[in-house]
Structure 1
Amino acid sequence: MRENGRVTSATRQPGTPAAPKLSTSLEQGTTTGPPPRLIATDLDGTLLRDDKSVSPRTVAALAAAEEAGIEVFFVTGRPARWMNVVSDHVHGHGLAICGNGAAVVDLHGGPGSHRFVKVRELARENALTTVRLLREAAPGTVFAVEQTYGFHQEPDYPKLHMEIPDNLLPAEALLAPDGPDADQPVLKILAYHPDLDPDAFLTLARLAIGEHANVTRSSPSALLEVSGPGVSKASTLELCCAERGISPEEVVAFGDMPNDVEMLTWAGRSYAMGNAHPAVVAAASGRTVANNEDGVAVVIERLLADRP
């Protein structure tokens, strides 16, 4: 695994309602502790509603947090080019950790001017080894490849994403040294199985792949996301916080799926959404209401109200 902190070219492409009262089952966690200096929030199923919108209440809460001097990080499995959904609605607040930690992107310039500030790529050798091991462990697995700008997939990979792939080739050809966009870093590979239970597929893949890569999932289907060894939302967030002199105790994190578990465990305060996967509920120190009920905004409002 190599890390590259270089700056690269840009990626392609009012009123706040009253806070709902949390139900007794969700009144967990506390806003006490060191004043927060950074908010780290997942997007899909967490900050975003199910229709992929950001509510006016959430926009206002994020703006109020930044006005109070709290930095906002979006921490997502999405590739950088899918970040317009956030910057379109929240006016370019903050930085985004994309691809489950594979890249850090500055959103402050707004749509069309995002820039990479850190890239933690998946070495092609590791990616090819992962493909081989998963084909052996789970026959029928099909793959897609995410790069800084490109997206490629195998011919049998289903239409799961927002875009038409740049190339349709076997994964071995996509990841070859002379494959498409060979000059671009590979951020992650996606592995899909049409029949396996999602959590069972994740367990199987982690056993098969071992230390060659980091494997997680955020989709309700049997779709795995494979990054470089040691690359995760948590590890990249930890790097970014260390650069800013921010301790885990000064971080408040939100998430809903297994790819959020390490981040929620690392952060001093963390909240599972009301719609969260059971593993996320077990990992978080608190719980809020569901994404469709503005669970992130509910907590931010309480945090700001409790500040001295």
Structure 2
Amino acid sequence: MTSAIDSPLPAVTRLIATDLDGTLLRDDKTLSDRTVAALAAAEEAGIEVFFVTGRPARWMDVVTAHVHGHGMAICANGAAVADLHRDGRLIEVRPLERDVALDVVHVLREAAPGVSFAVELTTGIHYEPAYPPFHMDPGATVAVAEKLLHEEAPGSAAPVLKVLAHHPELAPDTFLTLAREAAGDRASFTRSSPTALLEISGLGVSKAGTLAACCAQRGIDRAEVVAFGDMPNDVEMLSWAGASFAMGNAHPAAVAAASGVTLNNNEDGVAVVIERILAAR
């Protein structure tokens, strides 16, 4: 593993893909002036910038003021592509089918007693009574997951982007391993929270898969992509990109997947690499 100073970069960088929380954003959920300037300079130089996050589109206000160029963002760990120039309108959805989600809920209830669930739809989030409440979503419905996932007829309800599973006692990585062993053949499991909070998407859905499709649409090769991340939900993207950097504060799985390590999110680690890319041009 090499540092941001000496890690190899692509001969040509055409796209920068960056996670938000713990990566581009500081711990106070803001962007530093240096990072804002680096993003603007990259796009001025003709490099596309994709925000690739576990956040839903409605929580992208932290970066919408700094969107340039195309304004596309990959949200919900690859389950949605949003146009930030159009108030986060979803232009592509890769849903978790409701019958699969229900099956996963039942498997995890048996495998991890005490688990509680939230359901992220294209229209907003809803959660069970025992689930930690979402203060950013005061209009959420509170009900058991089976009711939240019910629909009167197939296709009659809003698509499910992901199901979240929270456990009050298990260690985060232990919970992730348990869930993958119990239901990894049914859905994709990852995590981005420091707590035992899992994010469950359709089988095969990931940041990397959706990013790869977006790049293919633009004629951009993976060798021309530089990616940044810090948590297990970034692992596939860090492995896929031609060059990738785990943050100084990253989870060991992200560090192992990346080709280099940069400074932490409070030290402008992403900006440091972008500046190096631009200097090399």
Among residues 1, 5, 8, which one is paired with 1:30 in the alignment? 8
**How far is the alpha carbon of 1:275 from its aligned partner?**
0.5
TM-score computed with the length of structure 2 as normaliser: 0.95
For 2:62, the equivalent position in structure 1 comes to 85
Contact kept in structure 2, 1:58 and 1:294, CA below 8 Å: yes
Aligned partner (choices 43, 53, 65) of residue 76 of structure 1: 53
Unpaired stretches in structure 1, ≥5 consecutive residues: 1-23
Q: Does 1:171 align with 2:145?
A: yes
Q: Distance in 1 between matches of 2:231 and 2:49?
A: 20
Q: Which residue of 1 aligns with 2:180?
A: 206
Deviation at 1:189, TM superposition (A): 0.4
Alignment of 1:151-170 (within 5 A): 151-159=125-133, 162-170=136-144
Provide the identity percentage: 67
* Cα distance in structure 2, aligned partners of 1:155 and 1:227: 22
Within a 5 Å distance, the mapping from 1:68-217 to structure 2 comes to 68-88=45-65, 90-91=66-67, 94-109=71-86, 113-159=87-133, 162-178=136-152, 183-217=157-191
Question: Conserved in 1, the CA contact under 8 Å of 2:3 and 2:262?
Answer: no
Aligned partner (choices 244, 250, 260) of residue 270 of structure 1: 244
Contact 2:35–2:271 (Cα < 8 Å) also in 1: yes
For structure 1, which segment, 64-73 or 161-170, has the greater mean C-alpha deviation from structure 2 after superposition? Answer: 161-170
RMSD: 1.7
Looking at structure 2, the residues matched to 270 and 75 of structure 1 have their Cα atoms a distance apart, in angstroms, of 13
What TM-score do the two structures reach when normalised by structure 1? 0.87
Judged with a 3 Å threshold, the aligned counterparts in structure 2 of structure 1 residues 165 and 126 are, in CA distance, closer, same or farther, namely farther
- Range 67-76 or range 113-122, more displaced: 113-122
- Give the residue type in structure 2 aligned to 1:74: F
Task: Give 1:150 shift.
Answer: 1.8
**Correspondence 1:244 to 2:241:** no
**1:41 and 2:18 matched:** yes
Q: Secondary structure at the match of 2:63?
A: helix
Cα deviation for residue 155 of structure 1 reads 0.6
Aligned partners of 1:27 and 1:287 also within 8 Å: no
| TM-superposed deviation, 1:162 | 2.5
Q: Quote the offset at 1:45 in angstroms.
A: 0.2
| Contact 2:4–2:272 (8 Å) recurs in 1 | no
What is the CA-CA distance between 1:163 and the residue it aligns to?
Answer: 2.1
Distance 2:175 2:134 in 1: 17
Number of equivalent positions:
278
Query: What does residue 51 of structure 1 align with?
Result: 28
218-227 or 206-215, larger mean C-alpha shift: 206-215
Q: Does the residue aligned with 1:29 lie in a helix, a strand or coil?
A: coil
